[in-house]
Amino acid sequence: MQTNSSKANFYVDFPNSGKIAYFSMEIAIHPEMPTYSGGLGVLAGDTLRSAADLSVPMVAFTLLHRKGYFSQHLDSAGTQSEDIQPWNPADFCAEEPARITVTVEGRVVTVRAWRYDLEGRSGHIVPIYLLDTDLDGNSGWDRGLTDHLYGGDTNYRLQQEIVLGMGGVRMAAALGLHVNVYHMNEGHAALLTLALLEQQLGGGLLDVPTEADIEQVRRRCVFTTHTPVPAGHDRFSTEQAIRILGGDRTARLERLGCFQQNLLNMTLLALRFSRYANAVAMQHGKVSREMFPEFTIGSITNGVHAPTWISDPVQQLLDEHIPAWRQDTLCLRNAIDLPEARIRMAHARAKGELLAEVASRTGLVLNPKVLTLGFARRVATYKRANLLFNDPERLVEIAAAAGGLQILFAGKAHPQDEPGKALIREVIDNAARLSDDVLRVVYLENYSWDLGALLTAGVDVWVNTPRRPYEASGTSGMKAALNGVPSLSVLDGWWIEGCIEGVTGWAIEDGADDAEEASALYNKLEAAIVPLYRDEPDKWARLMRTTLAFNGSFFNTHRMVIQYTRNAYYPTKPAARVPVREETYAD
Ligand SMILES: *Cc1c(COP(=O)(O)O)cnc(C)c1O
């Protein structure tokens, strides 16, 4: 629903009619296109949605992922099985006539692109090019290079990264795009720098690049890192690099200092060739600078696309009271004045929609009056989905004191992540053992965009329990905040910035181990959350209001894209320093 059609591109001036080319291995483009796996893809999609709304001249490159990220099935014991989700690109995208080639393991692979036009609220279009190798003339193996997102082994991954990085740069040129900024969203796209360097050298593989050549590439590249632990960075062995990229290219990357401990490190490659690099939250910036002390790494805290993640009932309320929010998300700060009864009603409707979905999926009818916690994200062990069950007796006691407690879980484990799959079984086992009339625990299958939107809008409290400092940012708690839903979370990632105790949610205090942190979680539930929810509905409504006002107005991608534009893409030159005489300071 558009209530104000004026364009929002007064925020920034864009020089030279050039384009920013945004590269990401995954992008959540459309709920029915299975081209994303989790937070990174959702962030990429939200970034492009805000860029379109703000009329930022951006284009994007990703892989087609023809077989889709997997859909998840859970049996009654909680064992996960996976199915591919093939989809038809022609249903959503238009095929571009351009063809380019890349060399993979010495073979020449032809690549085409499918264009998806992402339209912003005032009609500005951000085209997304999905690269595809499924073409006659390519070998059977090569035709499958753009089939599976995060499937296969590291050989497959490096081959995909050649298609994305080097193929994307060549496709941009073949499409006649005038790109003046290349943005690598995570290290997967780092090989684009190699393609740019080769362009700079006129294709000469054996020419030794000069500092000036490298500087020409650096002037055009910016990089965002998303991983706070060394093991999370993409790395490839020298043998793999020589075999897949070729000996000359590998030697060049070695000379340019892109190897660490004999491994080609994609983060290092991206950092070496970027004039600007950032992490995705303040704390993550600190961790990244410690990991790569020789580089300057700033931070731009993540956000989410407000109109995508705010439930319809809350959007209607905002349109009525703060219509300018669609054009300028800073206006959400004025949510501080929303009528308490109305925000309570809007949330009740969102909760009703969520519980209806739970009933239709599971047959379980949950109680809309009962305090409902949500925990849904990619199942990685560091996120500790089972921390809530660390002391089951205590959890049961809290549920009794609250007059009932409902906990909704969802999340996929990567098909090769056995510990992650074990964690799902553990949660489902606890759900079966502990659930009764007072405590209800439900694990919902096949976490995706739609379910994520229902959950973050419809629960009463969003819970997050990562082991510090593994959460670079996290974004699902931001979706909750935009719906007025407070978080109960470990102080990691974005929550260090977002938590105002008792105003936007609650912090789970640090402990020496899981048991201590679980105990801190129970303490907050028992002492702060349960009594407030049970006994003080007016105060709870005010809490929802402050959550939306303080965190919704900041943790959104409109603010984030404006920061990228000003700090990374087209930084404003520092103002010339005006010499000031001593006496100026005297008065
Ligand atoms: C938002 C979202 C995520 C990311 O959640 P985190 O809190 O960052 O872990 C993952 N998957 C889906 C489907 C989402 O909507």
Find the CATH number of the domain harbouring 35.
3.40.50.2000
**Residues lining ligand 1, judged by CB closer than 6 Å?**
38-39, 42, 377-378, 447-449, 452, 474-476, 479
Q: Same structural domain for residues 340 and 418?
A: yes
Write out the two tokens for 535: 């006994």
Q: What is the pLDDT of residue 431?
A: 94
Whose Cα sits closest to atom 7 in ligand 1? 476
Beta strands in 75-123 (DSSP E): 80-83, 94-95, 100-104, 107-119
- Ramachandran class of 433: left when φ > 0, alpha when ψ lies in -120 to 50, beta otherwise: alpha
pLDDT of residue 64: 98
For every one of its 587 residues, what pLDDT tens digit does the chain have, with 9 covering 90 and above? 334 334 333 345 566 679 999 999 999 999 999 999 999 999 999 999 999 999 999 999 999 999 999 999 999 999 999 999 999 999 999 999 999 999 999 999 999 999 999 999 999 999 999 999 999 999 999 999 999 999 999 999 999 999 999 999 999 999 999 999 999 999 999 999 999 999 999 877 767 899 999 999 999 999 999 988 887 889 999 999 999 999 999 999 999 999 999 999 999 999 999 999 999 999 999 999 999 999 999 999 999 999 999 999 999 999 999 999 999 999 999 999 999 999 999 999 999 999 999 999 999 999 999 999 999 999 999 999 999 999 999 999 999 999 999 999 999 999 999 999 999 999 999 999 999 999 999 999 999 999 999 999 999 999 999 999 999 999 999 999 999 999 999 999 999 999 999 999 999 999 999 999 999 999 999 999 999 999 999 999 999 999 999 999 999 999 999 999 999 999 876 555 554 444 433 33
Residues 295 and 310 in one domain: no
Instruction: Choose one of 46, 284, 377, 455 to mutate for the ligand 1 pocket test, by most ligand atoms within 8 angstroms of C-beta.
Output: 377
Residues 253 and 314 in one domain: no
**Distance from C-alpha of 27 to C-alpha of 452, rounded to nearest angstrom:** 16
Domains in the chain, number: 2
C-alpha dist (Å) from residue 46 to 15, 182, 559 = 24, 18, 12
Asked whether residue 460 is domain-assigned, the answer is yes
| Residue 55 pLDDT | 94
pLDDT at position 586, please? 36
- Is 383 in the same domain as 294? no
Residue 351 Cα to ligand 1 midpoint, Å, equals 19
Q: Give the CA angle between residues 40, 498, 454 to the nearest 5°.
A: 55
Question: Of all protein residues, whose CA lies closest to atom 3 belonging to ligand 1?
Answer: 39
Residue 586 in any domain: the answer is no
Q: What atom in ligand 1 is closest to the CA of residue 453? A: 15
Tokens at 63, concatenated: 């892989």
Distance 495 CA to ligand 1 centre (A): 15
With respect to residue 133, please indicate whether it lies within any of the assigned structural domains. Answer: no
Q: Is residue 136 part of a domain?
A: no
- Closest residue CA from atom 1 of ligand 1: 476
Task: State how far the Cα of 104 lies from the Cα of 357, in Å rounded to an integer.
Answer: 46
Please check whether residue 138 is in contact with residue 110, taking contact to mean a CB–CB distance below 8 angstroms. Answer: yes
pLDDT recorded at residue 61: 99
Residue 50 and residue 162 in one domain: yes
β-partners of residue 62 are: 130
Q: Are 200 and 248 members of one domain?
A: yes
Of 254, 272, 299, the residue at which a domain comes to its end is 299
Distance 378 CA to ligand 1 centre (A): 7
- Residue 361, domain member (yes or no): yes
* CB distance 477 to 548 below 8 Å: no
Q: Which amino acid is at 412?
A: K
Q: Which element (helix H / strand E) includes 173?
A: helix 168-174
Boundary residue ending a domain (299, 314, 330)? 299
- Residue 55 is assigned to a structural domain of this protein: yes
DSSP 388-451: GGSSHHHHHHHHHHHT-EEEEEE-PPPTT-HHHHHHHHHHHHHHHHH-SSSEEEEEESS--HHH
Same domain for 339 and 236: no
| 8 A C-beta contact, residue 132 and residue 64 | yes
Q: 356 with 423, same domain? A: yes
Residue 294 resides in a domain: yes
How many CA atoms lie less than 13 Å away from 26 in the CB half-sphere? 20
Phi, psi (5° rounding) for residue 297?
-125, 120
Examine the domain organization and report whether 405 and 541 are in the same domain.
Answer: yes
Taking the C-alpha atoms of residue 402 and residue 494, their distance in angstroms, rounded to an integer, is 29
**pTM of the predicted protein model:** 0.95
Query: Do 313 and 288 share a structural domain?
Result: no
Which one of 299, 329, 362 terminates a domain? 299
Cα 127 from chain centre: 19
Q: What string of H, E and C letters represents the secondary structure of 559-580? A: HHHHHHHHHHHCCCCCCCCCCC
Tokens, residue 408: 């909704």
Cα three-residue angle 93-94-96, rounded to 5 degrees? 130
- CA of residue 282 to ligand 1 center, whole Å: 19
Rounded Cα distance between 214 and 221, Å, is 11
Token pair recorded at residue 415: 């098909």
Is 374 strand, coil or helix? Answer: strand
Q: Are 262 and 366 in a shared domain?
A: no
Structure tokens at 275: 């004039």
| 176 and 212 housed in the same domain | yes
| Residue 318 zone, left/alpha/beta (φ > 0; ψ -120 to 50; rest) | alpha
Separation of CA 421 from chain center:
22
Range of the domain at 238: 9-61+157-299
- The verdict on residue 409 lying in a domain is yes
Closest residue by CA, ligand 1 atom 11: 38
